[in-house]
Structure 1
Amino acid sequence: MSWDLSISGNGDKGRWGGWAFVGLLSVVLCWLVIGRQDRKDGREIISNTPSWTEGTFVNYISFLVQKDPSFAKESLDEMIVNVATDSLMLYNILTWSEKYFFNPNSPFRNEDFFEVLLQRALTTPVLDTLQRERYRKLLLLMQKNSIGEYATDFDFTLNNNKRFSLYNIEAEFLILFFGNPACPACKEMTDRIARSEIILNLLERKINGKPLLKVLHLYTDSNIALWYEHMAHFPSKWLNAHDKTRYIKTRELYDLKALPTLYLLDKNKKVLLKDVPFDVLEAYLLQFLNFQ
């Protein structure tokens, strides 16, 4: 047996009536799952066919990500409420949610949605001690350096061994690029940023006598010799630095679950963009450039 839960329709909430349909789909996912009215049978089928029920969940979030964020968040919150006493269903939903909303390579990645789910899940009585502690730490890490907040300060060391702090950097915009020279994706990102005409343009400009843009390219791992070996490949106009203390990683000052990771900060070090693809960051800066 299989369902096709792909949704199509007209209007902001689809022809199925938006809230009513999503609420119904939440109940289907959380309680009936695959058409069985008996909860016990449903639980057994969940255990025996995890890939099928995961597919159902994917259809559900495929619908949600097309909707207004507040609408989607309320539906997700209601879904957790519906399974607040069912440890198996809650475990499955949180596992799938982490995979699709939190994994940096997921096409559905949305940390705001995952945060809603975790906040509600932590109020339920069925999480065991280890699960509760794990999700609590994950939530705290995810909430660090959120958009609109001041970025966490840290010290960094340049290749000339001079040491500065994040808040010492003066520029209208700052690209914070966490990378590793041994990481192929990081090398590709380095090349993309270095070739970007928009970035090159902004690096040459000044506003009120101060640089319009700077790039802080930061290595947070321990193999400093490897970092020095690749120094010739890093653009000389960037601030190429490493974290000598390794506090960024060991104290989890930033959420660096995957590299490369890009942030965009304003002149006051407020977070404008957090862990975004380069295309998004470049488009943001292009929009600023078009108004100059």
Structure 2
Amino acid sequence: MWRKTAIIAMAAAACMACGRRTALKAGTPSSLPAGECAATAKLSVPYPEIPTYLNGEEEEAGYVLMHFWDGVDFSDESWTEAAETMEEAFARFITVASLYPDMELSKQAVARLMQRLGEEAVPDVYDLMTGLADKYLYDPNSPLRNEELYITVLEEQIADPDLEDIYKVAPRERLRMALKNRPGDRAADFSFTTGKGGHGTLYGIDADYVLLFFHNLGCPACREVRQGIVSVTAREPAAGMLASGKLRIIALYPDTDMAEWVAHANEIPDTWINACDKAQEINEKELYDLRAIPSLYLLDRDKKVILKDFVNPEMLSDALTYSEAD
């Protein structure tokens, strides 16, 4: 069940919290003087006043999302001197938008923010806010990374009539890549070579579920994710699915060092498909946006994407449980 009260509390914290850093800044000492909540005392992100006619906490949370930035003057250049306050508020806004059950409303809230920035923000504040969007929604290492919300950011940047074309080049390229292999879409097919000298294609794998594990050799993060997959698939429901062939796992090395790939072959469990992209089809055709590795994709029988570009193996167990119960 969605924890509505928690989301309301986070929305309030976004506007009223003082001196706390975001998840990406954990452990970094604040440069603000003790007792101050912003570099400029007059600047804050005030909490939206919720109308009494709204019906229940979910509607209230939706209202907070849509009106989160109403009290902010984006034409005020001094926001660049209170960047920490703005970053803290932005992180809370994205947290609420990511957890809210209606993703379409969350996208509308992000679009509204971007439209206001395009219409009102001075250049330095516009750069501050779009930089925060890049950091929290696009950076592979961000715990709040959310490609669906970032697609909305990119679409609004591209649609902004006042943004010069030169500043739309990067958003257009990022949007092109982000639109590949989205949840619900059929994943791009590719051919692969196996450790036993065989060949195959993604679409040729006959299974109800396919887990794609893009990895590099000698990569500590890849080893950690691999061990996590082994742990998850040692218990139900994944264990039985793997044993019966209902779930297949393909460990795909996308780079070019074939000798090293062969040397590391014993690291891949025998129940998995140990494969490489010997023809470099994935990289050359940009079939997948492999900005960071490791990367996991969970596909259904029709090779439609269930989960895209995730790294927490526990999400595999949750998704399989949910899909089987559906």
TM-score, structure 2 as length reference: 0.75
Mapping of residues 56-95 of structure 1, within 5 Å = 56-67=89-100, 68-85=102-119, 86=121, 87-95=123-131
Residue pair 1:5, 1:56 contacting (<8 A) in 2 also? no
2-structure distance, mates of 1:245, 1:8: 58
1-structure distance, mates of 2:127, 2:285: 28
2-structure distance, mates of 1:194, 1:229: 20
1-structure distance, mates of 2:304, 2:270: 25
Query: 1:67-99 deviations in whole A, cap 9, x for unaligned?
Result: 332222111111111122444333322221121
> Are residues 1:50 and 2:83 paired?
yes
Identity of aligned residues (%): 28
1-structure distance, mates of 2:189, 2:212: 12
* Structure 1 residue 6 displacement after superposition: 7.6
Decide whether aligned partners of structure 1 residues 62 and 149 sit closer, same or farther in structure 2, where only a CA change above 3 A counts: closer
Residue pair 1:150, 1:270 contacting (<8 A) in 2 also? yes
2-structure distance, mates of 1:6, 1:186: 42
Query: 1:204-230 deviations in whole A, cap 9, x for unaligned?
Result: 11xxxxx31111110001222222111
> Are residues 1:245 and 2:279 paired?
yes
**Which secondary structure does the structure 2 equivalent of 1:145 belong to?**
coil
> Are residues 1:229 and 2:263 paired?
yes
**Aligned Cα root-mean-square deviation (Å):** 2.5
**Which secondary structure does the structure 1 equivalent of 2:289 belong to?**
coil
Query: 1:92-118 deviations in whole A, cap 9, x for unaligned?
Result: 222211211122332322111111121
> Are residues 1:158 and 2:194 paired?
yes
Q: Structure 1 stretches of 5 or more lacking a match?
A: 34-38, 206-210
1:186 paired residue number? 222
1:25 paired residue number? 68
Mapping of residues 1-292 of structure 1, within 5 Å = 1=41, 3=44, 11-14=57-60, 18-19=62-63, 21-29=64-72, 32-33=73-74, 39=75, 42-43=76-77, 45-67=78-100, 68-85=102-119, 86=121, 87-195=123-231, 196-197=233-234, 198=236, 199-205=238-244, 211-276=245-310, 277-288=312-323
The one-letter code of the counterpart of 1:185 is A
Residue pair 1:157, 1:244 contacting (<8 A) in 2 also? yes
Query: 1:167-195 deviations in whole A, cap 9, x for unaligned?
Result: 11111111111111221111111112123
Decide whether aligned partners of structure 1 residues 7 and 103 sit closer, same or farther in structure 2, where only a CA change above 3 A counts: farther
115-124 or 89-98: bigger deviation:
89-98
Q: Structure 2 stretches of 5 or more lacking a match?
A: 1-40, 51-55
TM-score, structure 1 as length reference: 0.83
Give the length in aligned residue pairs: 273
1:36 paired residue number? none
